[in-house]
Amino acid sequence: MPNAWFETVAVAQRRAKRRLPGSVYGALLAGSERGTTYQDNMAAFAEVGFAPHVADLSAEREQATTVLGQPVSLPVIISPTGVQAVHPDGEVAVARAAAARGTAMGLSSFASKPVGEVVAANPHTFFQMYWMGGKDSMLAQMQRAREAGAKGLIVTLDWSFSHGRDWGSPWIPERLDLKAMARFAPEGITHPRWLLAFARSRRLPDLTTPNVTAVGDEAPTFFGAYGEWMQTPPPTWDDVRWMREEWGGPFLVKGIIRLDDAQRAVDVGADAISVSNHGGNNLDGTPATIRALPAIAEAVGDQVEVLLDGGVRRGSDVVKALALGARAVMIGRAYLWGLAAGGQAGVENVLDILRNGIDSALLGLGRSSVHELTPDDVVLPQGFTRVLGGPSSTGTHRG
Ligand SMILES: Cc1cc2nc3c(=O)[nH]c(=O)nc-3n(C[C@H](O)[C@H](O)[C@H](O)COP(=O)(O)O)c2cc1C
């Protein structure tokens, strides 16, 4: 058995690519249209530099913080993703890994595991919803999550149903029945470790979405739920306020990239926002989240917790985001690659990589805690930042 440990997220991604059938790997890679936003999320982090010290460094470095009131041992939490078919334990493995490493779990309403099972694996779980179906159905989803013990609600607002990718979209079956498996078979045979993991668990990859219904109702298929979502008229800010009020507990609005929307999220009573472009899967051409973060954090950072997600692959990326005003980040593909490469241990490996990278950057920057990071710790190239939806300057840059 070769050493399962990997040293960077890039190595985990290469292993995931080797291990997963092409269509499953493609579903995780995702992105939309040209992939401009997907690429920019990562490229922009690479443009940010550090301004390190060499002496008077701190021997002790602290990473603990809180997100929506939940204690986390590092400023990184799990972003919700529909993880279908990556690993038989899916979101439960991710939740266990997050718990083992002392952080919180975001669970997608398009997840394959019931929220109760995920909360049992990690009590610090936030449930994520879209504006989908009627209000009764949304209330039933909230009720299910609340009864299961979810500690907060994430409402994801950025989705515009863009389905084309220049590199091709994978085929995802409606159900994994025998007919679909026969079509998958050539991919399965050439990826025996993926198939073996499912064979050992005696389960087929689950393509249903149990959390979009009330407990006891039959879980719709992924496409059944997606079709319902497509037919739902998009929400107004008053609708978001309604959700906030019905939920009652900690509430995070995910998908903010503009200053005016950040302010509206504050106005409807959000406790937190995530500066996000859905990892580049939504409207292609949206700037990298790290470019939009500084202005948003400056504008609303004293009113809500500001998180960021998109393109985080290293501990140093996390430190850059914190230096530019984020309280913590959420990761998507990084843990999906870890899950594909090594199940729960692979996700733990990814969280360890990020923790070590954060620690190393703190040491170099002469900081003893993530709470001490400031914009002085980083170097931004001219024209790096983007200020979208500002009072006078739409889309202009500064810095
Ligand atoms: C395969 C995949 C599925 C996703 N599914 C969801 C989802 O169901 N709900 C949601 O709010 N965000 C979803 N996202 C977006 C992530 O929560 C997150 O915003 C994004 O992955 C961050 O970018 P990163 O992958 O570069 O870390 C998904 C992302 C990917 C890659």
Q: Identify the pLDDT of residue 43.
A: 98
Interval 212-270: pLDDT, tens = 988 888 888 888 888 999 999 999 999 999 999 999 999 999 999 999 999 999 999 99
Measure 246 CA to ligand 1 centroid, in angstroms.
25
Q: Which of 113, 153, 281, 290 to mutate to test the pocket of ligand 1 (most atoms within 8 A of CB)?
A: 281
pLDDT of residue 163: 82
Atom index in ligand 1 nearest the CA of residue 274 equals 19
pLDDT > 90 fraction of the chain, expressed in percent and rounded:
76
Residues in the chain: 399
Map out the domains of the chain as residue ranges: 9-379
Q: Give 292-316 pLDDT, tens digit per residue.
A: 999 999 999 999 999 999 999 999 9
Q: Are 197 and 66 in contact (CB under 8 A)?
A: no
Q: Which of 15-24, 323-332, 385-394 has the lowest mean pLDDT?
A: 385-394
Ligand 1 centre distance from Cα of residue 137 (Å): 23
Select from 279, 251, 304, 261 the least CA-distant residue to 128: 251
Instruction: Name the band, by pLDDT with cuts 50, 70 and 90, for residue 168.
Output: confident
Predicted local distance difference test score (pLDDT) of residue 50: 98
- Using CA positions, which residue lies closest to atom 28 of ligand 1? 81
Cα angle, residue 67 at apex, residues 66 and 70 outer, rounded to 5°: 70
- CA 26 to centroid of ligand 1, rounded, Å: 14
Query: Where residue 394 falls among pLDDT bands split at 50, 70, 90?
Result: very low
Please give the pLDDT value at position 104.
Answer: 99
For residue 166, which of 44, 19, 278, 29 has the smallest C-alpha distance? Answer: 29
Q: What confidence category does residue 399 fall into, taking pLDDT thresholds of 50, 70 and 90?
A: very low
* Region label for 219, one of left (φ > 0), alpha (ψ between -120 and 50) or beta (otherwise): beta
Q: Which residues are known to be catalytic?
A: 278
The pLDDT score that the predictor gives to residue 175 is 67
Within 6 Å (CB) of ligand 1, which residues are found?
27-28, 30, 41, 79-82, 108, 110, 128, 156, 254, 276, 278-279, 281, 309-312, 331-334
CA–CA distance, 380 with 154 (Å, rounded to integer)? 31
pLDDT tens digits, 92-102: 999 999 999 99
Best substitution site from 42, 81, 226 to test ligand 1's pocket, by max atoms within 8 Å of Cβ? 81
Q: 118 or 220, which is more confident?
A: 118
| Burial per residue of 319-346, b for 16 or more beta-carbon CB atoms within 10 angstroms, e otherwise | bbbbbbbbbbbbbbbbbbbbbbbbbbbb
Query: 60 C-alpha to center of ligand 1: Å?
Result: 33
**pLDDT in the model for residue 167:** 86
What the block records as the tokens of 186 is 């050539």
The pLDDT assigned to 178 comes to: 62
- With cut-offs at 50, 70 and 90, classify the pLDDT of residue 320: very high
The minimum-distance atom of ligand 1 relative to the CA of 277 is: 19
Q: What is the mean pLDDT of the chain?
A: 92
Please identify, by atom number, the ligand 1 atom nearest to the C-alpha of residue 42.
26
Which atom of ligand 1 lies at the shortest distance from residue 156's CA?
11
pLDDT in tens, 66-85: 999 999 999 999 999 986 67
pLDDT tens, residue by residue, 13-72 = 999 999 998 888 998 999 999 999 999 999 999 999 999 999 999 999 999 999 999 999
Q: Which CATH superfamily hosts domain 9-379?
A: Aldolase class I (3.20.20.70)
Residue 177 has pLDDT above 70, yes or no: no
Beta bridge partner(s), residue 154: 128, 252
Q: How far is the CA of 287 from the centre of ligand 1 (A)?
A: 16
Q: Confidence class of residue 3 from pLDDT cuts 50, 70 and 90?
A: confident
